[in-house]
Amino acid sequence: MEKNAAVLMADLSGYTAMTDIHGGASAAMLVSKYMEFVSTALCGDTKIVQRVGDQIVLFAEKPMDIIDTACKLNSLALAEHNFLSIHAGIHYGSVFIDSGSLFGSTINVASRIMNMAKQGQILCSSTLVDLIDPNTYSFNHLGKFSFKNVMKEVVVYQLITDGYRQFFIDPVCRMQIDPDKESVVYNYRSQEYHFCGSHCLAIFKSNPDAFLT
C-alpha cells in the first residue's frame, strides 16, 4: 500500500560517546528511558515504525501530528538530567507500506536531514513545512542542500521549539547536565566544565584537548 505521509527519524546526540564511556548496560537503560519518552510523546495518529539502537522512525499521515510529537519528545529529553538530547529530521512524501515497514525516497530524505541536524535540532523539509499552519509553529530557513543519492536539492528549515532550557554538556560522555542539580565541576584554562561524575572528570584530566573540539 502506498500513501503520502510524514516521516520522522531521530536519534540521541552523543550516544556513541556515552556508550563508549559508560558501557552497554548504561546505554540500554538510557534507550529504555528514551523509548518511554517516545511512547509518551506520540500525538494523533503518529506510530513507531522502527527502532534500531537509539534511532527511531515515526510515521503519521497528518503532518501536524508528527510536528507535535517531535516537539513533545524534544521537551521530554531536554527536561531529563544526565540524559542525551535528540536530533531529528522530518520529510513528507510518498511511502510504500509493507508488513509494517516503510519504503521509498521519503525515508531516505528524512534520514539525510536527520544526519545534518545538530544536538537538539529538529530539521524539516520545505515539503513538510508547507503543510503546517504558520500560526501554530515557526521555522528558520536554513537553505537548499544536496544530499547523497537524492536527485533533487532539498530546502531545509529548523523547527523553533519552546522546550529549550539551559544545560551544560559533559565533554566526555556528551550527556546534558542540569545546572540546578549536582554535577562535578572542573576549571581548565579559565573555562568551567561540568561532568556527570568523577569517572568522566578523570578521563578528561588525562587528555583535556582530546575533548575540546
**What are the residue boundaries of the structural domains of the chain, listed by start?**
2-160, 168-211
pTM above 0.85, yes or no: yes
**Helices and strands, counts by H and E, the chain:** 6, 12
Does residue 165 surpass a pLDDT of 80?
A: no
Is the Cβ–Cβ distance between 121 and 87 less than 8 Å?
Answer: yes
Distance CA 79, CA 71 (A): 12
For residue 96, what pLDDT is reported?
83
Distance CA 127, CA 148 (A): 18
Q: Which residue has the higher pLDDT, 95 or 131?
A: 131
Averaged pLDDT, 5-13: 95
Distance CA 6, CA 8 (A): 7
Is the Cβ–Cβ distance between 9 and 110 less than 8 Å?
Answer: yes
Does residue 6 surpass a pLDDT of 70?
A: yes
**Residue 163: pLDDT band by 50, 70, 90 thresholds?**
low
Is the Cβ–Cβ distance between 86 and 73 less than 8 Å?
Answer: yes
Residues 118-157 have pLDDT tens digits of 988 999 999 999 999 989 999 999 999 988 888 889 999 9
Percent of the chain with pLDDT over 90: 75
Pull the grid cell for residue 108. 531516505
Report the range of poorest mean pLDDT among 54-63, 68-77, 128-137, 159-168: 159-168
Q: Provide φ and ψ at 64, rounded to 5°.
A: -60, -35
Q: What is the CATH number of domain 2-160?
A: 3.30.70.1230
The burial class, CB within 10 Å (0-12 / 13-18 / 19+), for 126 is middle
Residues 199-209 have pLDDT tens digits of 999 999 999 99
Question: What's the mean pLDDT when you consider all of the chain?
Answer: 91
- DSSP state, 36? H
